[in-house]
Amino acid sequence: MTSSLFASSSASGPAAIPEAFLQWLGRSTGLSYPTSRYDELWRGLAGVAHELGLADAQAAMGWLMTRPYTHAHAELLASHLSVGETWFLRETPTLDLLEQRLLPELIERRRNLDRTLRIWSAGCCSGEEAWTLAILISRLLPDAPSWRISVVGSDIVPRFLERARNGVYREWSFRGTPPWLRQRWFQTTPAGQFCVAESLRPMVQFVSIDLLNDPFPPISNIPAFDIILCRNVLMYFEPAAMQRIVDKLRDALIDGGVLLTGLSETGRQRFAGFNQETALDVSFYRKGLPPAPAWMPDMSIFAAAAPAAAGVTSPPAAPVPAPHLPRPSALHPPAPAPAVIARHEIAQGLLDEHRYAQVITLIGETPTADELPLLARAHANMGQLAQAARWCQQAIERDKTDASLRYLAAVITSEQGDLEGAIQALRQALFLQGDFVLAHYLLGTLLARAGQGAAAARQLNVTASLLAGMRDEYLLPESDGMTVAQLRQMLQASP
């Protein structure tokens, strides 16, 4: 049964699209259709009608508006209204920026830290962009199997995602691309199509997500992304919907993470919370320091109450006048005091969410003993190695028996290029905790770099022995979420 608004109309064709449906479409999907695109919208609605077994586009409009809008409806509409036009190495200026600047900088920061790369292709269509990203990373990382690389492609159209997951493409997807792309990264099928190389598949996964209505991030085990590409997608949305998506994309980035849009989608107004930067003649958006969350307590409470670490001083806090409170009575007993969350617990939560800049702002220059390691880790993950080393050393001076602090010192020192200092710190960590799996593994890799092959092999053998007694899904301490199975894979890829 269709809505009377449509059943009673005598008009047909694009002119029959009523304003009420356009408003519903904007509210539900965020999509914007100017008059010049009514023919395109009408053809899409005719396709919806055919799939639903309805008479025509008018019937499809009535059917859609008289039912609750669900993810299935979003998929149905997107399947018939999306353009679905993409190809490999599209918009080469942006890809040059990634290959020559953004990815090398990210790789350099992460190489001696957690060796993770998390990139999201939002609105990936049939997957060419996501596979392109995997190819760029593989070209830059000969040791890619020893990294934890997540390239996530998302779209709302089921047939696009099926094609993306299959990874099989026709000649048209390679228009304008150099010969090496297919020669190195694809295999020719008997049907004359091109299938992505098996070496790329472990990096890439595809998920269905409605950018406007579904929660971010799209993968539960990835709390935030280093880089998000949302190219030639935003331009199809109404301004309010576009702003909502941009805000969600910003929240799905780590502090300092990068958002890349289409070359025609740049502009300062809608990108609050980002710093616009330009490199290699391409504009992009880097996430700045986000506003403090509503649940974050008044910093002055901590500034007054938290004891400073050794050698750190702060000016005395101004006296705070006592609030005026009504006197308790038998009828109105005093309310219980609200629970106080320790500052280091809040900082740990922010660190777990990869909100490193917020950790630094929250703790400031007055860390407690519990906060010193958190501050060191936050600075290290921001690439601020001198500050990270400073706070890590202070943490070690306050607790000389914590093996994890020696491991952190080794990671920072290695990142600074001091190989011998990192090796010494790892030996100290293993003296304090002989079964520290990641310390054995990192020591083995650093000894190999130092040309001490026999010693490196011994450490990697110890690592394998320790892993043998652990369950695959066990999360390794100090690993930022690495499982035993993932470290086994990295160990197998070690030379």
Closest Cα partner for 119 from 259, 318, 322? 259
CATH at 440: 1.25.40.10
**pTM of the model as a whole:** 0.60
Sign of the torsion angle spanned by Cα atoms 126, 132, 133, 137: positive
Residue owning tokens 């998302």: 154
Q: 62, 81, 100 — which closes off a domain?
A: 81
Cβ atoms of 290 and 273 within 8 Å: the answer is yes
10 Å CB burial of residue 221 (0-12, 13-18, 19+) is exposed
pLDDT band at 266 (very low <50, low <70, confident <90, very high): low
Number of folded domains that form the chain: 3
Asked if 256 and 126 sit in the same domain, the reply is: yes
Asked if 375 and 253 sit in the same domain, the reply is: no
Enclosing domain of residue 241: 92-287
pLDDT band at 98 (very low <50, low <70, confident <90, very high): very high
Residue 251 lies in a domain: yes
Q: Round to whole Å and give the CA distance between 218 and 366.
A: 36
Residues 6+ apart with CB under 8 A from 122: 154, 209, 211, 228, 229, 230, 233, 249
Quick one: average pLDDT of 142-160? 91
Lowest mean pLDDT among 222-226, 319-323, 397-401: 319-323
Cross-sheet strand order for the sheet of 168-169 = 168-169, 194-196, 186-188
Q: 81, 100, 128 — which closes off a domain?
A: 81
Residue 345 lies in a domain: no
**Quick one: pLDDT at residue 189?**
94
Grouping H, G, I as helix, E, B as strand and the rest as coil, residue 111 is: coil
125: left (phi over 0), alpha (psi -120 to 50) or beta: left
Q: Which residues pair with 116 in a beta bridge?
A: 148
CATH at 15: 1.10.155
Asked if 26 and 106 sit in the same domain, the reply is: no
Sign of the torsion angle spanned by Cα atoms 221, 224, 230, 235: positive
More confident residue, 221 or 113: 113
Question: pLDDT tens digits for 419-451?
Answer: 899 999 999 999 989 889 889 988 988 898 889
Asked if 126 and 267 sit in the same domain, the reply is: yes
Residue owning tokens 């830290």: 113
Q: Which residues pair with 188 in a beta bridge?
A: 194
Residue 292 lies in a domain: no
Residue 276 CB neighbours (<10 A): 12
Cβ atoms of 286 and 256 within 8 Å: the answer is yes
Asked if 240 and 374 sit in the same domain, the reply is: no
Asked if 53 and 125 sit in the same domain, the reply is: no
pLDDT band at 5 (very low <50, low <70, confident <90, very high): very low
Q: Round to whole Å and give the CA distance between 207 and 230.
A: 15
Q: What is the DSSP letter of 483?
A: B
Element (H, E) at 204: strand 204-208
Sign of the torsion angle spanned by Cα atoms 129, 133, 138, 139: positive
Asked if 160 and 275 sit in the same domain, the reply is: yes
Asked if 236 and 97 sit in the same domain, the reply is: yes
The per-residue pLDDT of the chain, averaged, comes to 82
Residue 338 lies in a domain: no
Residue 272 lies in a domain: yes
Asked if 115 and 186 sit in the same domain, the reply is: yes
10 Å CB burial of residue 117 (0-12, 13-18, 19+) is buried
Residue 53 lies in a domain: yes
Residue 394 lies in a domain: yes
Q: Round to whole Å and give the CA distance between 25 and 77.
A: 10
Closest Cα partner for 412 from 394, 432, 436? 394
- CA 71 distance to own-chain centroid: 23
pLDDT band at 10 (very low <50, low <70, confident <90, very high): very low
Cβ atoms of 309 and 370 within 8 Å: the answer is no
How many residues belong to the chain? 495
**Quick one: pLDDT at residue 83?**
66
Residue 128 lies in a domain: yes
Asked if 271 and 149 sit in the same domain, the reply is: yes
Asked if 156 and 304 sit in the same domain, the reply is: no
Asked if 274 and 305 sit in the same domain, the reply is: no
Omega before 217 within 30 of 0, i.e. cis: yes
Question: pLDDT tens digits for 165-222?
Answer: 999 999 989 988 999 999 999 999 999 999 999 999 999 999 999 898 888 877 767 8
CA distance readout (Å), 267 to 212, 275, 283, 381: 20, 11, 9, 29
